[in-house]
Amino acid sequence: MNKYLLYPGCSMESSAKAYMESLNAIVEPLDLHFDEIEDWNCCGATEYLGINLIPAYSLIARNLALASKQKNGTRTVVAPCSACYLNLAKADHYMQERPSLGVKVNEALAAGDLQYKAGTLDVRHLIDILVYDVGLEKIRDAVVRPLTGLKVVPYMGCMLPRPDYQHRWSDHEHPTELDDLLRALGADVIDYPLTTSCCGGHMTQIGPETAFELIRRLVSDADGRGAQMMVTVCPMCQMNIDAYQNETNHFFGTEYHMPILFFTQLMGLAFGRDPKELGIGVELVSSRNALANIGVEVPVTQEPAAPRKKDEGLPMPRRWNKREAQKEAVK
């Protein structure tokens, strides 16, 4: 059995729930075992690094420190989210490249009785594990319902193959790991030159118009190449292309309908799992028509409820208040 430490990352609990569910569904046929890092915290995404350097790296390093403490017979940390993967790998790398950073981060960690010696863990992405540890052979063997006829573009996104501190990927620009994996599932893989182009990242939040253009490029090229769906390895990519596709269409006056699923969801399908347990159907750009090509019926999920009567926008959580938090902590 292959054992790993899992760093799920925040989105796996919410926007990318389908990723988590489908991951859980493929663990057993591939004889994988993941132990979640206990009490892991957010990696800071691309935001924290822009505010403060040492706190940002300390935030990331807490996870590494917890992982290195947690003994389950492995020193490999697996992150399914590309941004998390990059942050963890980057902290590990820079703490070595610039030792003074490592010293300071450890000083901060010491305040929480933790420490981390850079270089003692291997930080890897889920697809790296699947392609290089499990191997395509074993994946191929587990396929019971080949995805023959499903035309997909593999979308690796940017933070996975770059900057690639540990030289884990076949290429920075056109890595083929996802292509190979999807081919092993029997899908029709279309060569996608934009496979590592950016989905817009946080620009959907801070500069939507910039982001829409990036999303348009990706969706339009995939569409132009006759893809029925895009396949991704990253929650952020999935979120941007799925949730903001409609907005993008509005913005440019286009009518693209390009569903995007996680590669684990397709693996689950190929392994014969029920679409329901793979979180299929929760995407906003429905994969129903695409999957109909291979005879998979997408379960009906609740359609958006009617807007609330009062035009009050989305419910807001209360603003963060330190005192209240302390009270809550006392409870």
Partner 1 sequence: MTEKIGVYVCHCGSNIAGVVDVVDVANWAAEKLGHQGVVIARDYKFMCSSLGQELIEKDIKELGLTRVVVAACSPHLHEKTFRTAAKNAGLNPYLVELASIREQVSWVHTDKAVATAKSKAVVSGAVSRVIENRALDEIKVPINPNTLVVGGGIAGIQSALEIANAGFHVYLVEREPSIGGHMAQFDKTFPTLDCSACILTPRMVEAGTHPNITLLTWSEVVNVAGYVGNFNVTIKKKARFINEELCTGCGICQEKCPKKVIDDVYEAGLGYRKAVYTPFAQAVPNFPVMDKENCTYFEKGTCKACEKFCPTNAIDFNQQDELINIDVGNIVLATGYDLFDARRVSNYGYGRLPNVFTSLEFERLSNAAGPTSGNIVLRDGKTTPKSVGIIHCVGSRDRNFNNYCSVICCMQGLKFAHLVHERTGATVYNFYIDMRTAYKAYDEFYQRVLEEGTLFVRGKVAEVTDAARYSNERGKLIIQTEDTLAGKQRRIPVDMVILSSGLQPRKDAKEVGKLFGISCSMDGWFTEKHPKLDPVSTMTEGIYIVGCAQGPKDIPSSVAQGAAASARVLDKILQKEVALEPIKATVDQAKCSGCKICNGLCPFNAIAFIEDDKISYINPALCQGCGTCVAACPAGAISGTGFSNEQIIAQIDGLLLRNLEPAEA
Partner 2 sequence: MPQMTDERVRAGLTHEEDLSLLHEVSMKTAGVSRLEMCIQCGTCGGSCPVAKDMDHTPRMLFAMLRAGMREEVLRSNTQWLCVSCYHCVVRCPQEVHIADVMYTLKGMAIKAKLYANSTAPDFSQTFVDMVESYGRSFEMGLASRHYLKHFPLRLPGMMPMGLGMITKGRMALTPKRIKHMDQLTKILNRAKQLEMTS
Near partner 1 in 211-230, by CB under 8 A: 217, 220-221, 224
Q: Binding segment for partner 1 among 27-35, 50-58, 137-145, 168-176 (CB under 8 A)? A: 168-176
Of partner 2, partner 1, none, which one sits near residue 42, judging by CB under 5 to 8 A according to partner kind? partner 2
CB of 170 to partner 1, least distance (A): 9
Using CB atoms within 10 Å of the CB of residue 319, give its burial: 0 to 12 exposed, 13 to 18 middle, 19+ buried.
exposed
**Cis preceding-peptide flag for 163 (omega within 30 of 0):** yes
CA dihedral 83, 47, 36, 138 (to 10 degrees): 0
* Beta carbon of residue 127, minimum distance to partner 1 (angstroms, whole number): 19
Identify what 224 binds: partner 1, partner 2, none; CB under 5 to 8 Å per kind. Answer: partner 1
Site string for partner 2, 229-268 (x = CB under 8 A): --------------xx-xx--x------------------
CA distance 263 to 16: 12
Tokens representing residue 102 in the block: 């490592």
Segment lying near partner 1 (by CB under 8 A), choices 50-58, 193-201, 238-246, 264-272: 193-201
Q: Does 13 bind partner 2 (CB under 8 A)?
A: yes
Task: Confirm or reject binding of residue 201 to partner 2 (CB under 8 A).
Answer: yes
Q: Using the rule CB under 8 A, give the single segment among 73-81, 110-118, 224-232, 291-299 that binds partner 2.
A: 110-118
* Residue 4 or 40 with smaller CB distance to partner 2: 40
By the rule CB under 8 A, 253 interacts with partner 1: no
Among 45, 121, 127, 231, indicate the residue that binds partner 2 (CB under 8 A). Answer: 45
Provide the residue type at 96 as one letter. Q
Which of partner 2, partner 1, none lies near 193, with the C-beta cut-off 5 to 8 A by kind? Answer: partner 1
